[in-house]
Amino acid sequence: MSIHSPEFVKLIQAKTDEVMQRTASGVRATITFKALHAILTSYQERRPDKNNVYVLMISNTNLSALQIDTLSDEIANMLDRALHTCNHIEIDSKVSIIQAASKSFSDSSKARLTYTEMSRSDGMSIFFFNEDGITTFVEGYDDGRTIFFEEAERKAYRKKKDISEIEDVIVDYRSKLKEQNTYRKFFVPKVTLIRLFGKKSYNANKHLLINSPEDAFRDDLLAFLSEKIRATFNFGREFLLESENRLDIWTEDEKGKFYFIEVKWIGESINKNDNEAGTSYSSNYIRKNAVRQVLGYINELIRDWKKTVKVGYLAVFDARKVRDGDSLSDISQATFEYDLAPFRAYFHKIPDFIVDNIHPN
């Protein structure tokens, strides 16, 4: 993007409110606020423990009375001392501590909301320190330098795996599929089965999936990957392919390498009226249709979207009542046009995700 380009103008347009608020803020524009911000930045740079999370607050009235030119040492000494025992500190115009406490929030959004509200309603200027630097809250707005206001969330984020470890994460997903809270949302509830098949026969039909279960499978896998991998997983919308299909799950790493997962299922689902068995798919569907579809997507992404495709996965949820092995244990079992053969190199079939309705409600 160039500074002269329409994209840059659009970028500013999208941020009009933010820009206007930032520039309209009387407090941020003051030399005292800027100097205090610079002093605190310098202080934070010198601290060896940059991942320490703490907050300095000062009312805007006290801020305006701060004799900032001579206070940098006093501010540093005050913080050094106060941080031994506290992480939320409010000072007055003489850099004396008005109140100090140890606080934590259950999550970042609550913390952010609290600081925003304090800056708006209580007239406080708030400096939030963490390893991203200093995020300021003034007159109801923050300057967006960090997204982590709660340290546990950053730690959880750090524990996330890199996208290159996606296949390890997929292995972990198999365990989750055995949890009742996970698998039961894919199947027809017990109450419906009893209504349809009676108390004696419902057990023989507990393998029936909900109507159109593909969305539930996709959403569950998407949520799991997002929780475990440091990447933004998306579905659909932005990739309406020429074939008018949408990618189920996709992401790009920081180098622009593209990953996607096509989600399919085999087994039997209930019809849309919830009154009898509806659609069913077998391994044949995977071998004759799904592989061709994934290879076609890879072709379109490389050719039309100019994407550097790393891998296109085919994930199949297997909810069959009777199983006869993996839906595709080898790509030689699949049929597809000769033109698509070069894209096999980018294709990977994940061994079937087995889903069983062991304890229907």
Q: What are the φ and ψ backbone dihedral angles of 29, each rounded to 5 degrees?
A: -75, -15
49 part of the interface to another protein, by CB under 8 A: no
23 part of the interface to another protein, by CB under 8 A: yes
Stretch that binds another protein, among 29-37, 158-166, 242-250, 288-296 (CB under 8 A): 29-37
Cβ 154 to another protein shortest distance, Å = 20
Closer residue to another protein in complex, CB, 70/175: 70
Among 52, 59, 64, 72, indicate the residue that binds another protein (CB under 8 A).
72
Closer residue to another protein in complex, CB, 144/236: 144
* Cα 133-89-62 angle, rounded to 5 deg: 95
Tokens of 10: 């659009």
Could you give the C-alpha distances from 353 to 166, 262, 264, 279, in angstroms and in order? 15, 13, 10, 19
232 part of the interface to another protein, by CB under 8 A: no
Q: What are the φ and ψ backbone dihedral angles of 144, each rounded to 5 degrees?
A: 65, 30
CA distance 100 to 59: 14
Among 27, 39, 169, 216, indicate the residue that binds another protein (CB under 8 A).
39
CA distance 318 to 265: 6
In the chain, the N- to C-terminal Cα span, in Å, equals: 55
| R_g over Cα of the chain | 28
Among 16, 102, 121, 181, indicate the residue that binds another protein (CB under 8 A).
16
Q: Which helix (H) or strand (E) holds 263?
A: strand 257-270
CA distance 359 to 204: 13
Enumerate residues 130-159 that contact another protein by CB under 8 A: 133-134
- Amino acid identity, position 196: L
Among 27, 53, 76, 118, indicate the residue that binds another protein (CB under 8 A).
76
Stretch that binds another protein, among 14-22, 149-157, 233-241, 340-348 (CB under 8 A): 14-22
13 part of the interface to another protein, by CB under 8 A: yes
Angle at which helices 214-228 and 166-176 cross, to 10°: 120
Cβ 256 to another protein shortest distance, Å = 11
257 part of the interface to another protein, by CB under 8 A: no
Among 26, 27, 31, 96, indicate the residue that binds another protein (CB under 8 A).
31
Chain residues in the site for another protein (CB under 8 A): 1-4, 8-10, 12-13, 16, 19-20, 22-24, 29, 31, 34-35, 37-43, 45-46, 68-70, 72-73, 75-76, 133-134
